[in-house]
Amino acid sequence: MNYIKIENEAELRSYLEKFEEKGLHIIALDIEAESNLHAYGEKLCLTQIFDGVNNIIIDPFNIDVDTLKLLFENTDILKVMYDAGSDLSLLKNTADIEIKSILDLRPAADLLDYDKKDLHSLIAYELGIFLEKKKKYQKHNWGKRPISDDAIDYSINDVIYLLALKDVILAKLYAKKLLEPFLLKNLQIQNKDYTRDPEDKYRKINGYSRLRNGKKAVFRKVFDIREKYAKLINMAPHNVIQKADLINIVEAPAFIDKLRFSKKIGVDLIQDILQELRTATRAIK
């Protein structure tokens, strides 16, 4: 699939200047990100755009936040997206970027009561275009370079049909007198505060809420130990210690001796982790 690749600040600024000069005002937009799956933390890994003529792939790794904001926070560019909530949250909490002037088509799937509400199903139903669902890309490592041509094609498919889908969906919403509820839903998406409470990272672990208060304090220490070492070796936290095992450790500290670690973690580091876990759980009776 043909596309324009943008890899630095000068190229992004040049594209945006030409976009404005042409009098354009709308794009289809999507992002790919790392979210504690292959490495530690969350980060923007790729941005895909279809501007009605060109497919644009933006590699953000060598583009500063201020330049990225010229795209994402530009209120003069309408950004058609699908199910934008997770993207809004990721950019807000990792780079303090707020995507502005969004038209999210996802609320329409509920208002129009489609049987299947994922993007590919809507494209198939409304446009008669059947995209291959490549499950291997649902957990793809978008932080790895170079990105394969197949992965690029997969990412572009999520934006190239959005503008046409938007026209069909808006017409249906208008015909069914659902346009105003749809617009209200979009305003609610825009106005939501996506800032996350850092404390939620451990409070949302399944089983935490059932712990007694004393064990909750110990759980926080155990959780922080996992975070410390995951960050140190740039590994997804669940690959250091599984979420369920965090609870097991607090419920029965003897479980520490049953932990099994990835071969990617050195023996000395494993001993350090075990020692810190034993110290943290010593007060549990």
What the chain holds in terms of domains, given with CATH numbers, is 4-191 (3.30.420.10), 200-281 (1.10.150)
Q: What is the mean pLDDT of residues 192-196?
A: 96
Residue-wise DSSP of 39-82? SSSEEEEEEEEE-SS-EEEE-GGGS-HHHHHHHHT-TTSEEEES
Sign of CA dihedral 202, 208, 213, 216: negative
Distance CA(95)–CA(153), nearest Å, equals: 26
The string of pLDDT tens digits covering residues 164-189 is 999 999 999 999 999 999 999 999 99
Q: What is the pLDDT of residue 285?
A: 62
Strands (E) located in 155-284? none
Query: Pairing state of beta strands 42-50 and 78-81?
Result: unpaired
Q: Helix (H, G, I), strand (E, B), or coil: what is residue 5?
A: strand
The string of pLDDT tens digits covering residues 89-129 is 999 999 999 999 999 999 999 999 999 999 999 999 999 99
Which residues touch 16 (CB under 8 Å, ≥6 apart)?
70, 71, 74
Q: What is the pLDDT of residue 78?
A: 98
Q: What is the mean pLDDT of residues 237-253?
A: 96
| Opening angle at CA 86, ends 46 and 193, nearest 5 | 120
The string of pLDDT tens digits covering residues 19-40 is 999 999 999 999 999 999 999 9
Structure tokens at 136: 């291997």
Q: Residue 80 — very low, low, confident or very high, per pLDDT cuts 50/70/90? A: very high
Is the preceding omega at residue 181 within 30 degrees of 0, hence cis?
A: no
Distance CA(91)–CA(49), nearest Å, equals: 16
